[in-house]
């Protein structure tokens, strides 16, 4: 929903776009807080990457009618998290 809304109301000063941006920032912050408990080396960067991955999975599932997008995203997320955990 937020992906579509932010695309439809793409002007940076539009209230809908602002709300979408605030929502995305809150989601990233929530992911970062969860990752902080894992003692990863770069929780904010990892949170941003996971948020983009989730967006891609949502769009992929929607555009291809393939519910396996979530499974594919999960596999990529595991690789990403393991790479940061190994660096810690």
45-60 residue pLDDT tens: 999 999 999 999 999 9
**Euclidean distance between CA atoms 17 and 6, whole angstroms:** 5
pTM of the predicted protein model: 0.86
Check residues 47 and 85 and name the one with the higher pLDDT: 47
Reference 70, options 54, 83, 82; nearest CA is 54
Range of the domain at 81: 2-87
pLDDT at res. 27: 96
Q: What are the strands, taking DSSP E only, across the chain?
A: none
pLDDT digits 0-9 by tens, 18-74: 999 999 999 999 999 999 888 888 899 999 999 999 999 999 999 999 889 999 999
- Indicate whether 1 pLDDT > 70: no
- How many domains, the chain? 1
Q: List CB contacts of 55: < 8 A, sequence separation 6 or more.
A: 3
Reference 50, options 66, 67, 70; nearest CA is 70
């Amino acid at each position: 929903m937020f992906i579509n809304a932010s695309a439809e109301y793409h002007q940076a000063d539009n209230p809908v776009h602002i709300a979408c941006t605030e929502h995305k920032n809150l989601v990233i912050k929530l992911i970062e807080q969860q990752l902080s408990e894992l003692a990863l080396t770069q929780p904010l960067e990892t949170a941003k990457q996971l948020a983009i991955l989730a967006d891609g999975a949502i769009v992929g599932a929607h555009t291809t009618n393939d519910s396996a997008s979530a499974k594919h995203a999960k596999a990529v997320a595991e690789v990403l998290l393991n790479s940061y955990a190994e660096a810690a």
